[in-house]
Chain A
Amino acid sequence: MDLDDTPEQAAYRAQVRSWLDAHKREAPVLQGPGAIEDEDEIIAARRVWQGKLAEGGLAGVTWPKEYGGQGRGPIEQVICNQEIGNAKVPGILDAIGVGMLGPTIIAHGSEEQKSRYLGPMLHGDEVWCQLFSEPAAGSDLAAVQTRARQQDDGSWRLTGQKVWTTNAQFASYGLLLARTDADVPKHKGMTMFIVPMDAEGVTVRGLRQISGEAEFNEVFFDDLALDENAVVGGVGNGWGTALTTLMYERVTIGLGGEGLGYNSTRFAAAIASDEHARRDPEVRHQLGEIASELLAVRFTGYRTLTALQRGQIPGPEAGLAKVTIVNGAIKAGELIADTVGPDALAEDSQWAYMISFLPGLKSAGGTEEILRNTVGERVLGLPPEPRLDKGIPFSELRSKEGAPA
């Protein structure tokens, strides 16, 4: 048990650091004086920067070398993230693509797909988005209704709606989970597709949230034509392919939770700036409790890393770290705003923004309730809730719910 770098890790850290020292002046400035303000310019600059990181070996650290990665382990990935953070430069733009969707294509895609898509993804030339959630399929993701029908010539026509899609407004491609057979039970009739976002029949609309800003999108598909080789992982195997993505999502959240900015250091600094709040026993008590839990998440991440390094796959318990982060940040937001007063709710306040963002985040990646179900069943081995959708063809299920399939 040792939290220090091994000599190999230390050497890798030094290598990453020296690359960053040499190149950090080329990084786009996103905060403070001289920061780029125009949204499109920010994206453009971050694409270029991702390309440089990829050339320097600082993107796709865990990807196999044959696909342009470094073929290194998860600990090196974290070391790389830490050094990027220490250098105060932005990380890669397409964390969803490189972190989750690329690895899914590496695991399930055809050789043609790998050679066509992975390179431009890694270099930020083509950004990707994840088209899984729908208005009626979130926690119960296997209930997706976006329908893909195969044509006589083998091509596909796709109609439906996705939601909560990050980066869709500038993405080149999306990885999309669709229903291809409604006459079999719901987990069996799905297929994963690669979708070009600029194709006719694709409409992207910003989804404004509590803050008024649109960090996510809704994406509509109206009779989108896809050719045969858009399928990833085989027709009818969509659920298995999706589980791979979700596993990488857990890893990403487990290792990068603190990167969301919900950490004890930031919250303590907010309290420290008020000389009365910092001496108030109740404020201190709450801060101490919240911060202890958030601090724990960092070391839970290290435990996850250790497991990964030993070839184990992180289980659903990693999701509990998300529960801790979100609820801890919610409490911290309340505490800080209570000490600041209504000014914390000013439109340009970082706390107002955080307070607005968190209620939605509570449901992101599966609601807290579904997460606790999964952990209770798969980790503690508790019996599942009786289900009414098992073994029933999706179309019948839909008609039971009073809607057309």
Chain B
Amino acid sequence: MNLALSDEQVFLREAARGALSRFKTLEAARDALDGDEDALPDLWPTACEAGWPGLLIDEAHGGAGLDAFDAMLVLSECGRVLAGVPLLGHLPATAILSDAPNAAEFMADLASGARRAAYLPCQPPSDVHEDWSTDPASGFQRAPLPVAGAAGDDGRGGGRVSVTGSFSFVPDAPGANALVGVAMRDGRPVGVAILADAPGVTIEPVSRYDATRSLGHVTLKEAPAVVLDAPQESLVAAWHLAQALIAAESLGSVETALDVSVAYAKERFTFGRAIGSYQAVKHSLTEVLRQLENGRSLLYYAGWARTGAPGEFALAASAARSVGGRALDTAARTMIAVHGGIGATWEHDAPLYFRRAQLSRRLLGGTAGASDRVAGELLAQADAA
């Protein structure tokens, strides 16, 4: 057992930090909120240069052949500076495609980043919800997955179907070349890949509260799709991978929020003392650290479990999301509070992290959905024991 990062992992992290530091991502985030549509830098070329699109694609197909933990290191760096690199959409999609032999021909382009994929968030059943579902456009009720029509619709064999339905708040959908997710065929889940420019596909860009997060509403009307021969476990694991990635990204944001808050607590004086010397301030900052450390520990668990203990991946990734999501909530609010009034002003960076926290906790099934999944997995374990 060894939880130390390898030299390669340290390099991956440092290289990511260096590459992203070339962009003024926070200023861009604020300008974008102010309506400057061109403010956000296109970080995909940077991602391609660094090899991030192929992180989870094996070397034979031009990827780096790395695992979830490595991808999480990169996502954490993105989260630190609120960089909108469309990996949250791309990586889970490539994870499914990697498990589908009939998608092999696309992998080289996806690994190089010449083509970009977006994962259609499809939540697998749990101990209390027997159906697959996806995030609704609005409201509390989960939405059903799209339906895949009969096989062979286009007369080219059983590998093609037409899909009808919709997905809401799909991360990184705008601008993606391919959409990868799950559709129901004859009551069974099947992996599907859909070209974004195919007939019947519309991707409506949507922005909510955090301009750095690219989202889209995807509508499919008899859209032609390739049925992927990826096993069902792969479709399930993609959801959990997305949970682990957003957890890592959130914890990266927590790191910055904490660093900035601690620095301010050391330099800001009231009543003749640095405010960080007051227990009320100090303890709220150690609470952020406590949640951050718990989250980091779970990233190791999730990063290892995906291939090291696949049966525990749902639990590990959901626990990481539950802790990481709540850590970001706490960190963002603490960041504002420690800064006092100025922390709640437009010019400050704290509101940008707060906006990130507010939106993240409601995407991909929500932080609360991950907590429920943790309960479900543990209850099932208890039944089996």
Give A residues with C-beta under 8 Å from B: 1-6, 9, 75, 264-265, 268-269, 271-272, 278-279, 281, 283-285, 287-289, 291-293, 295-300, 302-303, 305-306, 309-310, 317, 320, 323-324, 369, 372-373, 375-377, 379-386
For residue B9, CB closer than 8 A to chain A, the reply is yes
Known: A2-B308, A272-B383, A383-B274. A310 touches B378 (CB 8 A): no
- What residues of chain B lie closer than 8 Å to A382, measured between beta carbons? 262, 265-266, 274, 276-277, 281-282, 285
For residue B211, CB closer than 8 A to chain A, the reply is no
For residue B51, CB closer than 8 A to chain A, the reply is no
A-B contact count (CB 8 A): 191
Residue of A1, A317, A320 touching B300 (CB-CB under 8 A): A1
For residue B352, CB closer than 8 A to chain A, the reply is no
Known: A6-B1, A386-B277. A268 touches B265 (CB 8 A): no
How far, in angstroms, from A271 to B295 measured CA to CA in the complex?
24
A82 to chain B, nearest CB (A): 11
Known: A287-B378, A323-B290, A380-B262. A279 touches B371 (CB 8 A): no
CB-CB nearest in chain A for B299? A299
Determine, out of B29-37, B112-120, B223-231, B318-326, the stretch whose residues face the partner at the interface.
B318-326
- What residues of chain B lie closer than 8 Å to A306, measured between beta carbons? 1-4
- What residues of chain A lie closer than 8 Å to B43, measured between beta carbons? none
Q: Are B300 and A302 in contact (CB under 8 A)?
A: yes
Interface residues of B in 356-385 (CB under 8 A from A): 368, 370-376, 378-379, 381-383, 385
- What residues of chain A lie closer than 8 Å to B276, measured between beta carbons? 376, 380, 382-383
A-B contact pairs, 8 of them (CB 8 A): A2-B1, A3-B1, A265-B381, A369-B279, A375-B289, A376-B283, A383-B274, A383-B277
Q: Are B2 and A1 in contact (CB under 8 A)?
A: yes
How far, in angstroms, from A380 to B266 measured CA to CA in the complex?
10
Interface residues of B in 45-63 (CB under 8 A from A): none
- What residues of chain A lie closer than 8 Å to B373, measured between beta carbons? 288
Q: B119-152 interface mask toward A, CB cutoff 8 Å, 1 = contact, 0 = none?
A: 0000000011000000000000000000000000
Residue of B283, B295, B371 touching A288 (CB-CB under 8 A): B371
B55 to chain A, nearest CB (A): 15
Q: Are A380 and B289 in contact (CB under 8 A)?
A: yes
Residue of B293, B326, B378 touching A291 (CB-CB under 8 A): B378
Q: Are A291 and B319 in contact (CB under 8 A)?
A: yes
Interface residues of B in 252-286 (CB under 8 A from A): 258, 262, 265-266, 273-274, 276-279, 281-283, 285-286
Max chain B C-beta neighbours (<10 A), residue from A5, A375, A383: A383
Known: A288-B322, A288-B374, A382-B265. A373 touches B300 (CB 8 A): no
For residue B169, CB closer than 8 A to chain A, the reply is no
| Beyond known contacts A303-B296, A383-B274: 8 more, CB 8 A cutoff | A1-B9, A2-B2, A265-B381, A268-B375, A382-B274, A382-B276, A382-B282, A385-B279
Q: Are A265 and B319 in contact (CB under 8 A)?
A: no
- What residues of chain B lie closer than 8 Å to A2, measured between beta carbons? 1-2, 304, 308
How far, in angstroms, from A76 to B320 measured CA to CA in the complex?
27
How far, in angstroms, from A381 to B282 measured CA to CA in the complex?
10
Q: Are A376 and B297 in contact (CB under 8 A)?
A: no
Residue of A292, A372, A381, A385 touching B262 (CB-CB under 8 A): A381
How far, in angstroms, from A287 to B128 measured CA to CA in the complex?
15
How far, in angstroms, from A288 to B285 measured CA to CA in the complex?
24
Q: Are B1 and A292 in contact (CB under 8 A)?
A: no
Known: A1-B69, A292-B323, A382-B265. A285 touches B294 (CB 8 A): no
